[in-house]
A and B are shown apart, each in its own frame.
Chain A
Amino acid sequence: MIGLVGVLAAPLVGAAILAFLSAYRLSARINVVVSAAAFASALLLLVERPAPGRFLLVDDLNVVFIVLGTFVGLTTSVFSASYIGHELATGRLTLPYLRFYHAMFQLMAFGMNLALAANNIGLMWVAVELATLTTVMMVGIYRTHQAIEAAWKYFILGSVGIALALFGTILVYLAARPVVGPGIDGMVWTVLMVHAHGFDPALMNVAFVFLLLGYGTKVGLAPMHAWLPDAHAEGPTPISAVLSGLLLNVALYALLRFKMLMAATPGAIAPGPLMIVLGLVSLVFAGFMLYRRRDIKRMFAYSSIEHMGIIVFAFGMAGPLGNFAGLLQMAMHSLTKSAIFFSVGHVAQVKGTQRIAEMGGLTETHPLLGWALVAGVVAIAGLPPFGVFTSEFLVVSSSFARQPVLAVLLVLGLLVSFGALLLRLSAIAFGEPLGSVEPVRASYVPIFAHLALVLIAGVWLPGPLVLWFQHVAALLG
């Protein structure tokens, strides 16, 4: 019980405290401490979990997400400490905004943890909306025209997505009511899963369409992706990291939950094909979009879309291998991508720009940072010895035997995006140095912690983790 309470309460309390602290160093430290507490209690969840209640639930599936999320939250808070310091020094942010920033950071963490831990589709919806609104605030925090427009775009598209998701949720309840009976039970996961066999398939179909589009908007699937690149590019980099590393996963988690529900309902359409189509579209589309990117953060945002495409594809293919690959890919992606954003943040700070054309020869000017970026991109591009390779190996090889054509499309998408990422990487990391060469005071701990984890996962997956993933994969059907 303590674990669950900690996961939820720590961010909430932290937000409350931080809202009234304006001393930057102190609040940054508190931010880290609070995130650490959340992570610690998430670890606690691994050993003992509370019995599922009407509102909260911890099971094998969401524990994966919670632990991952809190960990990324922790490292991000560490990174944000040094990052924000620089922003303060350059005067892009002022103290009051900083207070706002820290409070929002924890509030968002709370929202995400709540969404993950919710055992109630209504509560989950509310939590996701909360997380969305807070991130909107943070994206717009620089108050440049670009930032505000990005936030606005994010807000409008997000709201519509949220609305669709809500409608879907209501439909699910309607489908459940005749079986479960009116009242709160009609929204409780555990109950729904038990009675899913009795639901009305047609109603569930419509519901799933709405949920897929609604939460799919948050996942950033094309063609609902439009908010994602700008939000990543214009917000503070820690937020970009959190968006890619956490928020997308949260939405994905919601999607998976409903997928399970669909799978449990006899006579309903198989959710697989829909997800496969959306996944492939996102993958290929993002792959091509990568070629024309001038802004480094926006580029990696598109790469996030691409990876979400792969993950959704994998879950759509389902089967023990497909689901396992999806889970692994998701974990690896959020670790790797946030590591990339950490280093990108420092790069953008030291070069004083986000335009790729104005940075070059990074491995010459800032060897450590440059090689970190290279390692990150190599990892995200799916090359060994990093973990993404394992998951992509599983996705491709397992799907080719079953659906050759789809697998070929998948491979094409992978190649296209690989080419784009590498093209930009070699422009940024190699060649004649461009831009400022002044030494950077970067916080390397988060970057290399993530990369090390991804590296280890690429070479050796610990047995318990594997069993656990396999169990979850079995749950997902």
Chain B
Amino acid sequence: MALVLLAAPLLTGLIRKVKARLQRRRGASVLQPYRDLRRLLGKEVVLADNASWLFRTAPYLIFAFTWVAASLVPTFATGLLFSWTGDLIAIIALLGAARFLLALAGMDVGTSFGGIGASREVMIASLAEPAMLMVILSLALIAGSTQLSTIAQFMLSPAAGLRVSLALALVAFVVVAIAENARIPVDNPATHLELTMVHEAMVLEYSGRHLAMIELAASLKLLLMISAIACIFFPFGLVIGASEAGRYFVGLGAYALKLAVAGTLLGIFEMSIAKMRVFRVPNLLGGALMLALLATLLLFVSVGL
């Protein structure tokens, strides 16, 4: 649990660095997110006049939900202590709960931008979640489980070969992950142009430690998604069950490597395309949903593909 907490900002920093480099800027150091967090934590909170108790408690809850969800994902070893407390569906639901609270918090102060952000967020989520669940469905059908560690084990085993449905699922998963984490082309984490904001619009009224919590939660979520993808589709070097320390180090290294690669790729990807109009997002996500459904159907029709 602590590990993901520490690693998350680093990943964010890495991505920013990559993007800056691609823009021929030197960019801030990869450690910048940590500094930001410390600075924000130190600041006082400015609350809008009619912010309610919900507005004040939401950041901690959001953070907690995301953190618990993240700690259910095997990072470099499947033998997590509590992996059986929740499966993939539960993880998605936890993230959904976080989003639910975030959207409510966005509407709490009663500004129009909060409303924009919330309504767009739920619209995107209403398509992303089903797609995600379809992906899980197809994975579960292949691996015969919704338990991440079990899926990972299955993927490592020779029983899992290359499958069409797996490829489809991967694509869908990536798209959903991008949408969920409010990255380009769905949303731009760096924008402050009001009308294009989704995520940023919801957190507009936050400041100080609350903002810090939310930022941290966001980067946690990103990390979670990446490590989920890693442990499902690229479970190389994942440590199965308990074994000696050496293996763990290997796994750790592999995990770090995966993160670095994913982060770089994401950065490049975000640089290479432009943000979409809000109402073209549904088409993208609908496509993802269709892909995932197709994957599932293929499996249902014949469990060979």
Are chains A and B touching directly in their complex (CB below 8 angstroms)?
no
